[in-house]
Structures are given as structure tokens and as C-alpha cells.
Structure 1
Amino acid sequence: MVRWEPDARGRLQRAALELYAERGFEATTAHDIAERAGVTERTFFRHFADKREVLFDGSARLQQAMVAAVTASPAASPFGVIVDALTAAAEFFADLRDWATKRTAVIAATPSLQERELLKLHRMSEAIANALVARGTEPAQAALAADLGVAVFHRSFQSWISGDHDFGSCVRTTLHDFARVTADVSVEPEPAR
């Protein structure tokens, strides 16, 4: 009989990450995770739809935070709005470096999880683009700004998990690098025919 302890969700997440690192994602079952966390398998499924969702649990909250930042941004340009959303993401990651680093290693070792991660980033880009369109940005520009923002987010995230800087500093460095690599680019669109 399992004895009730608080924070079952957190214990399940920690147990899953430990087991994924020890055994690999594919070799770990929901039963294994529940057993390690000291809960029943039924409790596992009350918190997570499947064993992948343990790793992607915060995705919806991150996306909501970024969309809310897009909606609330006082910036005029679409990319200025994106910068505000990236700044909001920095708050989201304040205490998550250890978890994020271990999570990233598990995902890197599992092709099906890599696909899931790319899908998550794509959905975030779509949500941000929709929020930009709702602010009045032309759809093609909104999609481009959102895609660029997600690229900056992804590069910043990779830098953050492999370094000593806070996420906000990594975002600023990535934005600086982005400005440098595009500094001398000036392209006029071809006239409409």
C-alpha cells in the first residue's frame, strides 16, 4: 500500500527524469516512474497522459506566458513585441536550469522526443504569430517575426543550459548576435507584377 505524500506531480517528474537518464526513455514505463515516485500507476495517469508529457508539462504554460507578453507589449514593431515576449520567458526559467539541462539530454537521446520538441516550438510560433495578427500585424510579417523569435528563443535556451548566465542574459546575447549577423542586409522587395 502506497502512503500519501504531498507533491505527487513533482515527485513523478523527478522520478521520470532520473529513470530516463538511468535507463533511457524507451526502456522506462509509467509503472516504473510511479513506483520510483512512491505512487500508484493510476496516480501517474491522473497527472500525465503518457510518459512523454512528463517532459513537456510546462510547454503550454510557457506558450501562454509568451502570448500574454505579446498581447501586453507596448512595443510598436512586431519584433519589438517578440523581444518583450522573450524577456517574459526569462522569468519562466528562473529556477529551472537543472531540470531543463537533464530534460534536454533525455530529448537529445530520443528521436521521437526530438520530434515532439520541434512540434512544441512550431506550435509556440503559431500561437505568437496569431497574437501578433490580433494586434494588427500583417499575417506574413507576424509569421516571420514569430519564427525568428522562436529561433532566438531556441538558441538562447541552448546557451542557457550550457552556461553560467541567466536566461535573460542569454536572450540579450542572442539578440545582439542576431543584430550583428543581419546588420548590413538591406533587401527591397520586387515590385508586384
Structure 2
Amino acid sequence: MTNWHLATSTMAPWRPWLIHHGSLTRLLSSRFPDFNVRRLRQAFDLPYRDEVAPLGLGGHERALVREVLLRSGSVPLVYAHTVIPSACLRGPWRQLAGLGNQSLGATLFADPRVERFPLAFRRVSRRHPLYLAAAPYLTEPAAALWARRSQFALAGHRLMVTEVFLPSVIRP
């Protein structure tokens, strides 16, 4: 995962959110009683360049791209971007195509057969496509945003989840 790294000391006060290995949905639900998921977009599209190789996709291979906001009431906390290769949707991940506003995390962490790969992190600048996708949901401008990325596998089929943390998640 090009330019994605292991945890560093520079990520405070984001560190607790970024390094949490359990369900982000569960963590957000425990801290924000009015937690909800709002699906923004779900369509077959080209993944970002740095998502292609880790998922074993061809350069122009489309995948199911799902974008959601994890919110507290109407306040956006996290912009989440998931890439599910088409082959996975014919296999063990086929139920994920119909999630709607349901939490992907709740589905992933409910199945003990799902394997999670190590988390990777980076700050995304205003030029990065993840920043550009998350920017409309910022309540105030930010020079960069912290993001984390992980792959999940079921029966050898991998998908990738990237979560971009918005400043509102660390402000009560």
C-alpha cells in the first residue's frame, strides 16, 4: 500500500481512533449515542491507483466502490471508502452489495471467519482523492486529514476499507 505506513507518534490526538483494531462502528456507537450510517454512493467504478495492486486488480478493472459517512446525528465523523472486487461479489462477500445504510463493520466483525490484515495509516493532503471525497463533509477547512486502511479476507477473497477521520470525531 504505497505511502501507507504503520503507526507513528505524530498521529496524536488521532492515535486512539487510528490504531483501534476492533469495530470502528462499535467504538463510535459507544461514544456517540446517535451514531448512524449514511450511504453516499455505491457503484462499480475504478478504484484509486493505490488500491489496485494490494487487491490484485488489473489497472482498469472496476470494483464495487461504497462510500458512506459515519455520523453522530447529522454531524459527519468519518468518511469511509470500501473497494470490493467483482470476483468477491460472486463469492463469499455477495451479501455486501445490499447493505444500504447498514454498517459494513457490523457485518465484517460478526463473522469469525473474516480475517483482518494490519492497519496502515497516512495523512491525506488536499490533493489526495480521499481528501477531495471527504472535503464536502468537513465542518471547517483542514490542511490534511488522517486516514487508516485495512484489508479483510473471507475464503481468500479480499476487500479494502479506508476510513478518513474528520476533525469532528475528536471534538465532543
TM-score, length-scaled by structure 1: 0.25
**Whose RCO is larger (CA < 8 A, sep 6+)?**
2
Structure that is richer in strand per residue: 2
Structure that is richer in helix per residue: 1
TM-score, length-scaled by structure 2: 0.27
